Amino acid sequence: MQKKSGVQSPCRVAAECGGCKWIHKPYQEQLALKEKWVGELMQPFCKIEPIVGMENPMYYRNKVHAVFGEDRRHNIISGIYEEGTHNIVPVDSCMIENQKSDAIIVSVRELLKSFKIRPYNEDTGYGLLRHVLIRTGYFTGQIMVVLVLGSPVMPSKNNFVKALLKLHPEITTIVVNVNNRNTSMILGDKEQVIYGKGYIEDELCGKTFRISPKSFYQVNPVQTQKLYGKALELAALTGKETVVDAYCGTGTIGLIASDKAGKVIGVELNQDAVKDARINAKRNNVNNIQFYQNDAGKFLVEMASQEAKVDVVLMDPPRAGSDEAFLGSVVKIGPEKIVYISCNPETLVRDLGYLKKKGYQVKKAVPVDMFPYTDLKHVEMVCLIEKPCSVQ
Ligand code: SAH
């Protein structure tokens, strides 16, 4: 236990890691500060609802990564990069990561010795294991282990799999990913499934979603379910509407909305995410959804020029927010409702400013805490924006 200003820190490496800036703040205080910050930002638009926090704000991350290396005495270590460097800080457990994932990482490290597998050395290029990435399905309990290697050949692969499964029979799939480039990206392009299906599934709001090693999937499943639930509640669909799910990723929000919509049109830039979205639609037997791979702005400009009729736009852009091509086309198409899910309140208010100028009104805004203990600005927002009757 490390002491900082007289307070016991629940984490030994908080200072070097830098991930949890709020490690010393009681959770209720974190929520109050986030609510105050977002409330002030949103002041020109509407009064916000109380922030939706977590009941148990620890061990929430369903995606856990460890980098492997050696200390000065050539002992194998695993952990995180010290903030802003490539020095490895050894970590065995983290208070915001899934605990089983942390335990599996420790087991992998202990097995390396008996299998005579060396960790990869970034400077010399010698050694094999670079990273371990673990993704878990919160509601299904499925676990995927991704072993990221510096070269494609893993000696005694089958025995390694057997030994790891003996220690952790709950693992459902193991994938080898090869990353032989000098890069700060964790995953390389080549993949080989060495146990199980090569992906896991998780459930959200009654639908099942496939998660592959590289799929985008929200990292806090408990709060994601609340966030999407809120978005759907605000959209108040009746079963007839034409809905656009923009920046749809692997189709999560659109698929959850599909039961209550006439039809859903999903648009997403990333080709792999669109592939996953189509698989997710099939997996859930959803037939009233279509996914398009395109820039959301370009796609909406096209829709507007064809005078498409859309009742509700659900949008969940990345941190940079949306753009005028998209928002201008939304205004032109003129849906009754826009439900804007944002992971960055600062770009959200910029975009809301644009919509307000065009006559749209923000009716409701709900902050949801997705990343307890990390930092002030890590808060998501879901907003209901409506077209007043007077707007043509
Ligand atoms: N709604 C999804 C994904 C949200 S993350 C979910 O909750 O899981 C934002 C998504 O926007 C990412 O999948 C990213 O690939 C996509 N994106 C980023 N820029 C885009 C653009 N210009 N047009 C369409 N999609 C874009």
Instruction: Name residues whose C-beta falls within 8 Å of residue 149's C-beta, 6 or more positions apart in sequence.
Output: 120, 128, 129, 130, 176, 177, 178, 179
Give CA–CA dist 25/18, Å, rounded.
Answer: 14
Q: Return the best residue to mutate from 219, 247, 303 for the ligand 1 pocket (most ligand atoms within 8 A of CB).
A: 247
pLDDT above 70 coverage of the chain, percent? 97
* 281 — pLDDT class (breaks 50, 70, 90): very high
Q: How far is CA 370 from CA 50, 55, 243, 379, in A?
A: 14, 12, 25, 6
Q: Where in the chain is the domain with CATH 3.40.50.150?
A: 27-56+220-386
For residue range 337-378, list pLDDT tens digits in order: 999 999 999 999 999 999 999 999 999 999 999 999 999 999
- The dotted CATH code for 27-56+220-386 is 3.40.50.150
Which residue minimizes the CA distance to atom 22 of ligand 1?
295
Give CA–CA dist 230/238, Å, rounded.
Answer: 16
Q: What pLDDT is stored for residue 169 in this prediction?
A: 98
> Which token pair is 256?
């959850």
Q: Rounded to the nearest 5 degrees, what angle is found at the Cα of 269, between the Cα atoms of 264 and 272?
A: 90
Which residue minimizes the CA distance to atom 21 of ligand 1?
295
* 389 — pLDDT class (breaks 50, 70, 90): low
Q: Which residues line ligand 1 (CB under 6 A)?
A: 216, 218, 247-250, 252-253, 267-270, 273, 295-296, 316-318
In the reported structure, the alpha carbon of residue 337 is separated from the centroid of ligand 1 by a whole-number distance in angstroms of 20
Pick the CATH number of 63-204 from 2.40.50.1070, 3.20.20.450, 3.65.10.10, 3.40.50.1970: 2.40.50.1070
Q: Where in the chain is the domain with CATH 2.40.50.1070?
A: 63-204
Give CA–CA dist 377/359, Å, rounded.
Answer: 28
- Helix, strand, or coil (residue 357): helix
* 4 — pLDDT class (breaks 50, 70, 90): very low
Atom of ligand 1 at shortest range from CA of 323? 22
In the reported structure, the alpha carbon of residue 62 is separated from the centroid of ligand 1 by a whole-number distance in angstroms of 19
Q: Which of 3-7, 146-150, 213-217 has the highest mean pLDDT?
A: 146-150
DSSP 237-271: --S--EEEEES-TTSHHHHHHHTTSSEEEEEES-H
Nearest CA among 286, 303, 284 for reference residue 244: 303
- Helix, strand, or coil (residue 333): helix
Name the residues annotated as catalytic.
343
Q: What pLDDT is stored for residue 84 in this prediction?
A: 85
Mean pLDDT, residues 137-149 taken together: 97
Q: Is residue 6 over pLDDT 50?
A: no
Q: What pLDDT is stored for residue 182 in this prediction?
A: 86
154-160 long-range Cβ contacts below 8 angstroms, 24+ apart: 154/117, 154/128, 154/194, 155/115, 155/116, 155/117, 156/115, 157/194, 158/194, 159/115, 160/111, 160/115, 160/117
Q: Is residue 392 over pLDDT 70?
A: no
Nearest CA among 59, 61, 66 for reference residue 80: 66
Q: What pLDDT is stored for residue 9 in this prediction?
A: 63
Q: What pLDDT is stored for residue 391 in this prediction?
A: 46
For residue range 108-142, list pLDDT tens digits in order: 999 999 999 999 998 888 999 999 999 999 999 99
Which residue minimizes the CA distance to atom 3 of ligand 1?
249
In the reported structure, the alpha carbon of residue 293 is separated from the centroid of ligand 1 by a whole-number distance in angstroms of 11
Q: Is residue 5 over pLDDT 60?
A: no
In the reported structure, the alpha carbon of residue 336 is separated from the centroid of ligand 1 by a whole-number distance in angstroms of 23
